[in-house]
């Protein structure tokens, strides 16, 4: 069972429109409402593939109630920790070209008791025999930038590996503390972490190896339209496929991570190919919809071991 932890979940509201005119009244032709937040999306994608998972999250206010209802509709087993603040809504505007504009709300501040209750809820799930904990997304005010360090330590005390998909200071703190099984930044987030522009494959590999050197076993770097790289202490793999015109890119990285975790145990090239196939399937779905088995195509995913370090990412 995979336990996901989403400290700042959201109700994701996506509006599809022809072409966004900034500063004008725009009319959407479709709306989509999904339970959102990165860990929740990982759990939703796993559930869609019949994989055991539980989502741990704080929830408060009317959107918190809606979020819990949506998770129930999606069939996602969840442990929602009641908090006083109001769960946020995040807004996505998708143009017919696939260009996506996203506005994420800050989310409710959590008090020290909320944070303690959230970690207690995770601990209760770990006792039940989890095989992995995934901490994902941004941290709301009040959690402290070391929240994911505490999560990884908690997982470690229970002998459970920990994977992270976060960015900025929370990612930097967790990587510095080490002891992680996996991190899944995109190339921009990895570049910000190491303070370098990542232009060629070798830049990504060097940056990922700096993360590995601090005590993380594997780095899965998503590259948007250019696929993904998997880097461990000794080897590198790339997987990708032809560019797609997205229905919505929101949650594609989460589907990628979910696919990677679902394929755990397979050899790394196949595991990466599965991850990329799930991510590609997600971009063809509206809003924050997650792919089901019928959406996944592996025939157009190519995999390469030890890709040329001098190759520009934009040429992958
Ligand atoms: N336009 C596209 N065409 C083909 N594949 C795409 C496209 N955009 C994304 N993907 C696939 O989705 C995966 C994840 O995308 P991306 O790197 O943008 O994730 P992310 O930045 O973590 O996204 P999010 O935070 O919204 O989940 C990529 O590795 C790639 O396989
Ligand atoms: O504000 P954060 O926590 O960084 O990201 C939240 C979010 O953008 O991530 C998911 C897509 O990955 C969405 O479901 C959600 O709205």
Q: How far apart are CA 29 and CA 17, in angstroms?
A: 6
Task: Please tell me if the CB atom of residue 246 comes closer than 6 angstroms to any atom of ligand 1.
Answer: yes
Beta bridge partners of 93: 15, 101
**Residue 250, helix vs strand vs coil:** coil
Distance (Å) from CA 187 to ligand 1 centroid: 11
At residue 148, the pLDDT reads: 98
pLDDT at 286: 92
Q: Whose CA is nearest to atom 12 of ligand 2?
A: 251
What is the CA 189 to chain-centroid distance, rounded? 12
Structural domain spans, the chain: 2-315
Q: Give CATH for domain 2-315.
A: 3.40.1190.20
Residue 89 pLDDT: 97
186-214 exposure pattern, b = at least 16 Cβ within 10 A, e = fewer? bbebbbbbbeeebebbebbbebbbbbbee
Q: Which of ligand 1's atoms lies nearest the C-alpha of 276?
A: 31
Distance of CA 100 to the CA centre of its chain: 17
Residues with a catalytic annotation lie at 254
For the segment 200-217, what is each residue's pLDDT rounded down to a tens digit? 999 999 999 999 999 999
* Atom number in ligand 1 closest to CA 102: 26
d(C-alpha 179, C-alpha 156), whole Å:
8
ipTM of predicted assembly, 2 dp:
0.98
Q: Based on the number of CB atoms within 10 Å of its own CB, is 50 exposed (0-12), middle (13-18) or buried (19 or more)?
A: exposed
User: Is-contact 264 298, C-beta < 8 A?
Assistant: no
pLDDT of residue 98: 86
**Contact at 8 Å (CB) between 241 and 302?**
yes
Ligand nearest to the backbone CA of 33: 2
d(CA 309, CA 304): 12
Is residue 92 within 8 Å of residue 114, measured between CB atoms?
A: no
Integer Cα distance of 163 and 28 in angstroms: 37
The 10s digit of each residue's pLDDT in 47-93 is: 999 999 999 999 999 999 999 999 999 899 999 999 999 999 999 99
pLDDT at 129: 83
Q: Residues 262-290: pLDDT tens digits? A: 999 999 999 999 999 999 999 999 999 99
List, for residues 130-189, the tens digit of each pLDDT value.
999 999 999 999 999 999 999 999 999 999 999 999 999 999 999 999 999 999 999 999
pLDDT digits 0-9 by tens, 88-138? 999 999 999 989 999 999 999 999 999 999 999 999 999 978 999 999 999
Task: State in Å: Cα 227 to ligand 1 middle.
Answer: 7
pTM of this structure: 0.97
Q: How confident is the model at residue 235 (pLDDT cuts 50, 70, 90)?
A: very high
């Amino acid at each position: 069972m995979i336990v996901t932890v989403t400290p700042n979940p959201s109700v994701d509201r996506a509006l599809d429109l022809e072409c966004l005119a900034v500063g004008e009244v725009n009319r959407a032709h479709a709306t989509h409402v999904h339970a959102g937040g990165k860990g929740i999306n990982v759990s939703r994608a796993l559930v869609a593939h019949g994989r055991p998972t539980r989502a741990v999250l704080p929830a408060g206010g009317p959107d918190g109630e809606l979020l819990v209802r949506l998770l129930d509709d999606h069939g996602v087993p969840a442990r929602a920790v009641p908090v006083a603040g109001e769960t946020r809504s995040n807004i996505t505007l998708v143009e017919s070209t696939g260009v996506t504009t996203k506005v994420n709300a800050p989310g409710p501040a959590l008090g020290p008791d909320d944070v303690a209750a959230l970690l207690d809820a995770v601990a209760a799930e770990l006792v039940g025999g989890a095989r992995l904990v995934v901490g994902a997304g941004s941290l709301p005010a009040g959690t402290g930038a070391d929240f994911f360090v505490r999560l990884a330590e908690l997982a470690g005390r229970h002998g459970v590996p920990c994977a992270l998909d976060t960015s900025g200071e929370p990612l930097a703190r967790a990587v510095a503390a080490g002891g992680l099984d996996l991190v899944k930044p995109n190339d921009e987030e990895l570049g910000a972490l190491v303070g370098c522009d990542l232009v060629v494959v070798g830049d990504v590999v060097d940056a990922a190896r700096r993360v590995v050197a601090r005590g993380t076993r594997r780095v899965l770097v998503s590259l948007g339209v250019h696929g993904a790289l998997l880097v461990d202490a000794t080897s590198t793999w790339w997987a990708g496929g032809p560019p797609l015109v997205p229905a919505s890119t929101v949650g594609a990285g989460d589907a990628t991570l979910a696919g990677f975790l679902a394929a755990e145990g397979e050899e790394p090239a196949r595991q990466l190919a599965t991850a990329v196939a799930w991510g590609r399937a997600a971009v063809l779905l509206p809003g924050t919809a997650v792919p089901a088995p019928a959406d996944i195509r592996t025939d157009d995913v190519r995999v390469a071991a030890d890709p040329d370090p001098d190759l520009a990412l934009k040429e992958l």
